[in-house]
């Protein structure tokens, strides 16, 4: 392979050797508008160490970047912080090529890697708090179970003050720039929050606990090196602070109106609700599922105080796109939301009730009866929708938790 792919230096002894995926737009259901990176890191210790690998199709890019620093066969240790295939996809090939002295992972990682890759090589399980000598440097491990897989683990390199944080603090963002200070902060904020909402939201209480552990661990951080997106070297405090904020999901005055529509009747209702919300002092986000993806909705929900969900009724059910987004949001387990439902129908009208049932299953506080309109809404129907928006806005203003 042409040696166009070079390593990027973090410090004199640590390099980024990952891959840039400019074209990926779907990451198991999460739409990645800006592509992604699969980050791997090379530690030029006495025992040369590779932290994570990349997705299988990018193996040559990984090898080329490593080869710009050292012969890949000189790698003696491979650390797997996370077994998911975007990071372990070419681990089996790397083990065959490199024949490392050791491959290490967390206890769950050692099992999961075998379940995924069916390796001949033994994976050495390291425990929470354990330290591995690389000769002139050391790696300390911190288990981060269920963030976001059972195997997930941080590795900390005290000599360079680098935390290799697997998916945590990452984002799906393909860029030629490798560091946070080289990228527009608004993009970092948006993509970081989108990543949190779509990947880490269900585990928010664990994130809060983990931030406490990191804070009390005595680790000093010059770099946070995640497995996706830029390496943090400037605004480390900022991203840690944001994780603390996102994990709490403190609701704002934002209400997200999400809907699927057949002949625009449910859309008219959504627009009337949004007008009522805005005029009542809420921040309304009106999202048609014809143009917004489920992961856009997840992003908006992260700091919302209300989810108002609508669907036309099709063959006695809500529309497939409404069922899709509700299934996705249910899995993400958002908290601190109130909710309501609405929709137009021809002759049976089950969808709004079905939506309300799911909102309740999600432990969302439903404060109003579903609004149902037969066929095309009349003035008084739109007035009811507007009043619903105003009422939710009022409740959001009253909510003591609202920022
Ligand atoms: Fe980037 Fe959970 O894999």
Domain ranges for the chain, please list them. 8-248, 254-394
Buried b (16+ CB within 10 A) or exposed e, 383-395: ebbbbbbbbbbeb
Q: Is the shortest distance between the CB of 86 and ligand 1 below 6 Å?
A: yes
Structure tokens at 67: 């080869």
Number of alpha carbons in the 13 Å side-chain half-sphere of residue 104: 24
Q: What strands lie across the sheet with 138-143, from one edge to the other? A: 131-133, 138-143, 153-157, 162-164, 223-225
Let me know if domain 254-394 sits in CATH 3.40.50.360: yes
Peptide bond into 148 cis (omega under 30): yes
pLDDT at 400: 52
pLDDT at residue 3, rounded to an integer:
86
User: Does residue 148 have an active-site annotation?
Assistant: yes
Active site annotation includes 227: no
Total Cβ atoms within 10 A of residue 369: 12
Q: How many CA atoms does the CB half-sphere of 385 hold within 13 Å?
A: 27
The pLDDT of residue 1 is 55
Q: What is the pLDDT of residue 399?
A: 79
Q: What is the pLDDT of residue 2?
A: 59
CB 171 within 8 A of CB 199: no
pLDDT of residue 73: 98
> Rounded to a whole number, what is the largest CA-CA distance in the chain?
77
Rg (Cα) of the chain, in Å, rounded? 24
DSSP 8-state assignment for residue 90: T
What pLDDT shows up at residue 402?
Answer: 45
- Give the span between the Cα atoms of 346 and 348, in whole angstroms: 6
Of all protein residues, the one whose alpha carbon is nearest to atom 1 of ligand 1 is 167
Cα 92 to chain centroid, rounded = 26
**How many Å from the N-terminal Cα to the C-terminal Cα in the chain?**
54
**Model's pTM, two decimal places?**
0.96
Nearest Cα neighbor of 258 from 209, 326, 197, 184 is: 326
Reading the block at residue 233, the tokens are: 């070297």
Ligand 1 binding pocket includes 82 (Cβ within 6 Å): yes
Q: Provide block-wise average pLDDT over 10 residues at a time, the chain (403 residues).
A: 88 98 96 98 98 98 98 98 97 97 98 96 96 98 96 98 98 98 98 98 97 95 98 97 97 97 98 98 98 98 98 98 98 98 98 98 96 98 98 89 47
Strand partners, 240: none
Instruction: Determine the distance separating the centroid of ligand 1 and the alpha carbon of 317, expressed in angstroms.
Output: 34
What's the CA gap between 78 and 100, in Å, rounded?
A: 7
CATH number of 8-248: 3.60.15.10
Q: Retrieve residue 35's tokens.
A: 């592509």
Active site residue 86: yes
Tell me which residue has its CA closest to atom 2 in ligand 1.
84
């Amino acid at each position: 392979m042409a040696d166009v792919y070079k390593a990027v230096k973090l410090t004199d002894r640590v390099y980024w050797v990952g891959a840039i995926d400019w074209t990926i737009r779907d990451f198991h259901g999460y739409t990645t508008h800006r592509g992604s990176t699969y980050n791997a890191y090379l530690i030029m210790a006495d025992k040369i160490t590779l932290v994570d690998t990349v997705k299988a199709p990018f193996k040559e890019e990984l090898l080329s970047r490593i080869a710009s620093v050292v012969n890949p066969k000189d790698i003696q240790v491979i650390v797997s912080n996370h077994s998911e295939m975007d990071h372990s996809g070419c681990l089996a090939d790397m083990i065959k090529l490199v024949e490392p002295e050791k491959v290490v992972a967390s206890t769950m990682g050692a099992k999961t890697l075998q379940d995924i890759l069916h390796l001949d090589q033994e994976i050495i399980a390291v425990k929470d708090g354990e330290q591995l000598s690389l000769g002139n440097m050391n790696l300390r491990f911190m288990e981060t179970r269920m963030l976001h897989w059972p195997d997930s683990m941080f590795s900390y390199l005290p000599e360079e003050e680098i935390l290799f944080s697997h998916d945590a603090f990452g984002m799906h963002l393909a860029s030629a720039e490798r560091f946070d200070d080289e990228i527009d902060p608004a993009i970092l904020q948006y993509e970081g929050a989108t990543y949190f909402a779509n990947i880490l939201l269900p585990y928010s209480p664990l994130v809060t606990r983990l931030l406490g552990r990191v804070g009390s661990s005595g680790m000093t951080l010059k770099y946070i090196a995640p497995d996706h997106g830029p390496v943090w070297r400037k605004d480390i405090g900022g991203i840690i602070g944001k994780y603390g904020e996102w994990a709490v999901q403190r609701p704002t005055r934002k209400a997200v109106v999400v809907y699927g529509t057949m002949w625009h009747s449910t859309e008219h209702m959504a627009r009337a609700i949004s007008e009522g919300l805005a005029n009542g002092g809420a921040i309304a986000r009106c999202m048609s599922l014809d143009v917004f993806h489920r992961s856009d909705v997840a992003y908006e929900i992260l700091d919302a105080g209300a989810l108002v969900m609508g669907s036309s009724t099709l063959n006695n059910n809500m529309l497939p796109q409404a069922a899709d987004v509700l299934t996705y949001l249910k899995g993400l387990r958002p908290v601190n939301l109130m909710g309501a439902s609405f929709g137009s129908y021809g002759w049976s009208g089950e969808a709004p009730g079905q939506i309300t049932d799911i909102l309740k299953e999600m432990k969302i506080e439903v404060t109003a009866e579903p609004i149902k309109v037969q066929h095309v809404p009349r003035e008084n129907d739109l007035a009811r929708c507007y009043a619903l928006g105003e009422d939710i806005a009022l409740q959001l203003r009253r909510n003591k938790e609202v920022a």
